Every structure is written in C-alpha cells, then in structure tokens.
C-alpha cells in the first residue's frame, strides 16, 4: 500500500479495492478534439499577441520574435497535456470502507457520505471511469482525465455534497463495481 495513503487512513479503516489506470494513448479519439481546440485557441491568442507586438514595435519586429511568441503560447497546452498524462499514469486508486482516494503526489479523497450520485461510464475508447457528483456525471468524456488529476474539484455550497470526483480508465472495472456494491450505490 502507498505510504501517503497509509498515513492518511483512520484507525480501523480497511482497503476494499485498489487499482491503477489502464494504459491509454496520449491523444486518443476521446481527447484529441478538446486538445486540438486548446491548440487552436492558443494559436489564435498568439496570433493576436504577435500582431499587437508587431504593431506596437513600429512594425519592426523580426519574424523570429513573432515565431517565438507563437511557439511559446502553443507549447503551454502541450506541456499541460504531457504533464497531466504522466501524473495520471503514476496514479493509484483506492476504495476503503469509508471513502474513495486518488493517490499520486498527494492523497485526494472523498467520504462516501458526501457522494449523492455515482456511475461507471465508458468513453469512446472503451475506458471505464468512475464518476461521482453531478458535475462529473454531466461532463464530456474528454474531461474525465482532468477530473482525476485534479481530484476533488469542489464540494457543493453547503460543504457536504461531492460535486466532482473521478477514477479515470479503471483497470479492473468489474472488481471496482463489486467493491463499491456495499458502500456506494451506482446508477
């Protein structure tokens, strides 16, 4: 068991299931559309910034400077994609008799009593994801990875209800379903 999780367990808490994300491609058909949208937005933004830079430099900016601006702004979403994907590949999932936990560089968890609704959903690539909370259940499949990397996104305004939590691309969905059967009803 992971040392970070072990340190956060409450006395008497038992682990019912543990798993990791199954292997997935960096840009699969579920996520490529949103990634390309982010790249296009950054390209458009960099074109506007480069045009302003060129205009305010008295139209003396060198093409190399404009190219650097564009490359730097396009590199941002690529870096986030690679960073989040690498982080997700090192992630571990745990189900205890009291809560769900996502462990990577820290422990992000949510107690069962805070989860009003949960479901196992499959994306177009065949990856099964556990989604908890209304916000997560109504997300596009391209947001599932981010939900897992972020951990608990937010609690509702009353601080008692989980709004969004996820386990992306669960490697053993049937075993997870069995472990959750006694502690968290799935829709």
Architecture of the domain defined by 14-22+93-180: Roll (2.30)
Structure token pair of residue 137 = 């259940």
Q: Which part of the chain is CATH 2.30.29?
A: 14-22+93-180
> Is the pLDDT confidence value at 156 over 50?
no
Report the distance separating Cα 110 and Cα 164, nearest Å.
10
* Model pLDDT, residue 61: 65
Please state the rounded mean pLDDT for residues 54-67: 73
What length does the chain have? 187
The four Cα atoms 55, 61, 63, 68 give a dihedral, to 10 degrees, of -90
Q: Are the CB atoms for 78 and 43 separated by under 8 Å?
A: no
Residue 152 has pLDDT above 80, yes or no: no
pLDDT in tens, 10-28: 899 999 999 988 877 666 7
Cα-to-chain-centroid distance, residue 120: 15
The per-residue pLDDT of the chain, averaged, comes to 80
Region of poorest pLDDT, from 29-38, 41-50, 79-88, 149-158: 149-158
Prediction pTM value: 0.73
Q: How far is CA 35 from CA 15, 24, 41, 186, in A?
A: 36, 15, 10, 30
């Amino acid at each position: 068991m992971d040392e970070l999780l072990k340190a956060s367990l409450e006395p008497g808490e038992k682990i019912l299931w543990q798993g990791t994300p199954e292997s997935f491609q960096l840009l699969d058909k579920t996520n490529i559309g949103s990634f390309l949208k982010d790249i296009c937005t950054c390209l458009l933004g960099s074109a506007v910034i480069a045009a302003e830079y060129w205009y305010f430099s008295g139209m003396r900016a060198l093409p190399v400077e404009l190219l650097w601006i564009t490359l730097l702004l396009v590199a941002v979403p690529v870096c986030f994609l690679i960073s989040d994907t690498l982080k997700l590949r090192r992630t571990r999932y745990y189900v205890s008799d009291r809560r769900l936990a996502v462990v990577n560089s820290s422990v992000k968890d949510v107690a069962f009593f805070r989860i009003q609704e949960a479901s196992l959903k499959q994306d177009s690539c065949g990856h099964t994801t556990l989604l908890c909370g209304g916000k997560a259940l109504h997300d596009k499949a391209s947001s599932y990875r981010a939900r897992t990397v972020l951990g608990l996104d937010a609690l509702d305004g009353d601080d008692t209800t989980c709004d969004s939590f996820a386990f992306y691309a669960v490697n053993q969905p049937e075993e997870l379903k069995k472990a959750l059967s006694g502690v968290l009803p799935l829709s």
